[in-house]
Structure 1
Amino acid sequence: MIYITQLIYIHEGQEHTFHQFEDVAIPLIEKYKGKLLLRLRPSAGQLIAGELEMPYEVHLVSFPAKEDFDAFKLDKEREQFLHLKDAAVRKMLLVQGNAL
């Protein structure tokens, strides 16, 4: 099992565009045996400490194997909507790991 954590930073005013992409991408996770474990939208008041800026959203997703995650990333339907992600997302930090 692998776990993917994404800290997602979007361009100001592109929330709707980002949500359009997520409306397509998130349901596809299950097609590749993945699970959306958490989808958080933190606010500035929730930051206790840290050097990173507050992301717009944080996603925690699991897949049985890296190959399943790779197949999800290459999904043809998802690829048709990547222009929405490109327009909305300013930067993204992706952390891949395993449960201990």
Structure 2
Amino acid sequence: MAYLKKITTITLVGVLLLSCMVKAQNSKSTTKIDKMKDQEIVNVALLYIKDGEEARFEKYKKKGGAILEKYGGKIERIIKPKMLVKGKLEMPDEIHFASYPNIEVFNKFNKDSEYIKIRNEYATPALKDISIFTSKNTDFEFKKEIGDQTKTYGVALIYFNEGEKYVKQFEEYHNDACAIMPEFGTHFERFIAPFQSKGNIEQPDEIHRFYFDSKEGLQQMGTDERMQALFPKRDASLRKLYFFIGESNL
């Protein structure tokens, strides 16, 4: 029972954390690639590594990352999921976040002959599956903070219900939720909106990445009465949610 209670608590936290991004939820429909020349691009990859191919894939990350840096990009965060607390999905071995200065750099990197050779030699034979979401930053203003490898991380793939009334539901509790969460050591690193994707996993409307100062704070936030009061309305706004809890190795 204690284990189930813990899982329920974390699930509630994951759903409620999504409150702090309501201003951006219509971004998917308005995104135009030709208007993104000067915007940062964030590529999110859910990776499934074949058994016994971990060492080969590590070589790919090292070699591919070095080429990416030549273009002014970087692998900014790698999350190793430990738990899928919401949704039904095979849990990936790793979730990568790579950033690029703009869409032009993103395209040049992916066409780089040296990178293609490394990808074909190391990544392709090491992976059994991959889903990739190419994304832009939302227009939501928030205090961006950067965590480290000691933190517990959350990654949420969010799918909204259709309809203006759900936008209003977000807005009704948006300010209250965002005022409460920092009390429990919650910090936000990314609010991004995919505009193109590859792979079997449906393209989400939003992807969020955040971290917690402690697991205790995460659990306390889930049991806070103010946060629990927001949950029913928040849950009704979503048609689907994949919420991962994990650790960072970068």
Pairwise TM-score range, normalised by the shorter structure:
0.7 to 0.9
2:108 to 58, 65, 71: 71
Q: Look up the match of 2:63.
A: 24
Over residues 34-54 of structure 1, what are the superposed CA-to-partner deviations in whole Å (9 max), with x where a residue is unaligned?
Answer: 1222111222xx221122211
Structural mapping, 1:1-100, within 5 Å: 1-43=40-82, 46-81=83-118, 82-100=120-138
Of structures 1 and 2, the one with the larger relative CO (CA 8 A, separation 6+) is 1
Alpha-carbon separation, structure 2, partners of 1:23 and 1:8: 16
Alpha-carbon distance between aligned partners in 2 of 1:83 and 1:35, rounded to the nearest angstrom: 21
Contact 2:80–2:94 (CA under 8 A) maintained in structure 1: yes
Partner-residue secondary structure (3-state), 1:53: coil
Aligned residues: 98
Q: Distance in 1 between matches of 2:133 and 2:84?
A: 19
Matched with 2:194 is: none
| Bigger Rg, which one | 2
Aligned residue type for 1:28: I
- Secondary structure at the aligned position of 2:48 is classed as strand
Q: CA deviation at 1:71?
A: 1.2
Which stretch of structure 1 is more off in the superposition, 76-85 or 61-70? Answer: 76-85
Q: Secondary structure in 2 aligned to 1:13?
A: coil
SS at match of 2:52: coil
Q: CA deviation at 1:18?
A: 0.9
Q: Which has the higher helix share?
A: 2
Deviates more, 1:85-94 or 1:69-78: 69-78
Q: Is the 8 A contact 2:49 2:129 kept in 1?
A: yes
Q: How many angstroms does 1:77 deviate by?
A: 2.2
Identity %: 30
Which deviates more from structure 2 when the two are superposed, residues 86-95 or residues 33-42?
33-42
- State how far apart, in whole Å, the 2-side matches of 1:97 and 1:22 are: 20
Structure 1: gaps spanning 5 or more residues: none
